[in-house]
Amino acid sequence: MTKQIIFIFALFCSIQTWANSQPEQEDTVRYTSHYVATEQIQPVYLDGVVLPVRGSGNWFVSIAGGTTAFLGTPLGCEDVFGRMKPSYSLAVGKWFTPSVGARINYSGLQFKDAQLSTQDYHHIHADLLWNVLGHRYSRQEQVRWSLAPFAGVGLLHHVANGHNPFAISYGVQGQYRISQRVSAMLELSGTTTFQDFDGYGKPNRLGDKMLSLSAGFIFHLGKVGWKRAVDATPYIRQNEWLTDYVNILSEENNHYKSRFDRDKRTLIELKKILEIEGLLDMYKHLFEDRDSSIINCGYPRNNYSGLNSLRARLKNRKWDGVSPFGRIESISDSDCLVSENRNILAADTTILMYTDNQCIGSPVYFFFALNSDRLTDASQMLNLDELARVAKKHNLCVRVTGAADSSTGTAAINDSLSVLRSGIIAAELEQRGIPADRIVKAGKGGIADYLPIEANRHTKVELYFSKTTKTGD
């Protein structure tokens, strides 16, 4: 006996110590996050690597005018200056990197052939450009000068004789950036094609040439410019460290969870021992306010009383806070959304929200077999017990509406069935203590409001307030 007394005394001391060590639970659950102070990473840039500000940017168009000299084979009796004729060019292109770009160029107007006759021509070609000063963008944001040799291929067209020979284009272009959108350009270019382009010379042999000198403007479109590429290595290392830290926290959480579960089981066993020894009533205060929050769920319980009140006011703007049952009621903790009394239905706590003749909650449907007043499932009758309880408790009226399936049977049969089905349910409600004068019966006949078709074979039951019932209360 002495050993039992000592054991029970030690048990009480342990429980009291645990109870004093537990923090008081608050009304609202609060989440405390772990904040990890990490150093802010300063960007480190890759040496000599730049990227466009936007992938679809750095487009340009150019317009230029100048002079062209044709040097054919045979040459003819005239020097270069005597062969000069005016020309112009239009181009559209894109810089893929500060050093590499491409363009489509059109040029043309007039030239002098081997007989020194003035002829018209057109020249279209695609060129690849290489900016030899593009590396300067990796050291500075704004670069004004560029020098871009180019080479490409295209077609020449002789308007008079109709020749369209293959041609090779080449040259060098210099630019000066006036503003972010406009640059001045000077270009020296050459074109080589077959000897018979002008109608004189051997076919299928290269020999005819055109030299051009032009000046104009370049207009930059879209997002313009370049940015240095950031080294992602420090960010990858930080992400790996954070991933490891998350794994550590997860392990700690699992550890504390297992400890909590173990302590919970211990308390349950200790409570059983006190109950067996007949001492639970004496020391039940040690378990108060902890059975529901700790043993059952282990988390603080939210108090939704304010939320219930807000919902009631929003549902019925004219409600002055006075209960229609003749007394002032406040929605307490026992009637909150998360109720400790599992025997109280949520419908009982929200009835204050509804006005005259408005259905309280959702209607309850009872479904019948085809062309009969027999329920498809007899277990549906259980709903009538709860409907009758709520109606009697709050002095509610009941609206019973029968219906049939319009896709089968005649109109007369469906009218009769709907009335019969509503009468069956109304009779069951009367047997459960609801006065007949508080039951309104109706028959809708055949309907086709629901899918599947079988859903139209039903009786709908609705609970509602009426001015008569409220006055009578």
Instruction: Please report the pLDDT score of residue 341 as a whole number.
Output: 41
Q: Is the distance from CB of 418 to CB of 444 less than 8 angstroms? A: yes
Does 301 have pLDDT greater than 70? no
Ranges 122-131, 236-245, 308-317: which has the least confidence:
308-317
Cα angle value 379/383/460 (rounded, 5°): 105
Nearest residue to 463 (alpha-carbon basis) of 427, 418, 429, 423:
429
Determine which of 160-169, 196-205, 247-256 has the lowest per-residue pLDDT on average.
196-205
- pLDDT above 60 for 172: yes
CA distance 12 to 294: 18
- The pLDDT tens digits for 352-397 are 455 566 777 788 999 999 998 899 888 888 888 888 998 888 888 9
Q: What is the mean pLDDT of the chain?
A: 78
Q: Where is average pLDDT lowest: 33-37, 48-52, 113-117, 274-278?
A: 33-37
Taking 80 as the threshold, does the pLDDT of residue 11 lie above it? no
Q: What is the pLDDT of residue 468?
A: 59
Which H or E element spans position 182? strand 182-194
The encoded tokens of residue 292 equal 């529901």
Which position has the token pair 């909150």? 336
Q: How many CB atoms lie within 10 A of CB 406?
A: 17
Confidence at residue 182, expressed as pLDDT on a 0 to 100 scale: 94
354-472 has CATH 3.90.180.10 classification: no
Average pLDDT over residues 334-338: 38
Q: What is the mean pLDDT of residues 446-470?
A: 84
For residue 17, pLDDT over 60 is answered with no
Residue 132 has pLDDT above 60, yes or no: yes
Those residues whose C-beta lies under 8 Å from the C-beta of residue 285, and which sit 6 or more positions away, are: none
**pLDDT of 15 above 90:** no
pTM for this entry: 0.43
Q: How many C-beta atoms lie closer than 10 Å to residue 276's C-beta?
A: 9
The answer to which of 7-11, 91-95, 163-167 has the lowest mean pLDDT is 7-11
**Angle at which helices 411-431 and 382-393 cross, to 10°:** 60
Cα–Cα distance measured from residue 399 to residue 434, given in angstroms and rounded to the nearest whole number: 12
At 337, is the pLDDT very low, low, confident or very high (cuts 50, 70, 90)? very low
**What is the percent of the chain where pLDDT is above 90?**
32
With residue 427 as reference, give the H or E element that holds it. Answer: helix 411-431
Kindly tell me if the per-residue pLDDT of 305 is higher than 60.
Answer: no
Per the CB < 8 A criterion, the answer to whether 113 and 73 are in contact is no
DSSP assignment of 205-261 equals SEEEEEEEEEEEEEEEESS--EEEEEP-HHHHHHHHHHHHHHHHHHHHHHHHHHHHH
Q: How many helices (H) and strands (E) does the chain have?
A: 8, 14
d(CA 431, CA 372) in angstroms, rounded, equals 21
Instruction: Give the domain 50-228 fold.
Output: Porin (2.40.160)
Q: Region 108-130: what's the mean pLDDT?
A: 90
Question: How far apart are alpha carbons 149 and 184 in whole angstroms?
Answer: 16
Instruction: Report the greatest alpha carbon distance in the chain.
Output: 138
pLDDT of residue 49: 67
Dihedrals phi, psi of 452, to nearest 5 degrees:
-65, 170
The residue written with tokens 């040690």 in the block is 286
pLDDT tens-place string over residues 385-437? 888 998 888 888 999 999 999 988 899 999 999 999 999 999 999 999 999 99
What pLDDT does residue 138 have?
Answer: 65
Q: Which residue has the tokens 């047997």?
A: 431
Q: Quick check: 401 and 422 in contact, CB under 8 A?
A: yes
Of 328 and 282, more confident:
282
Q: Which residue has the higher pLDDT, 56 or 101?
A: 101
- Span 91-95, average pLDDT: 94
Is the CB of residue 391 less than 8 Å from the CB of residue 465?
A: no
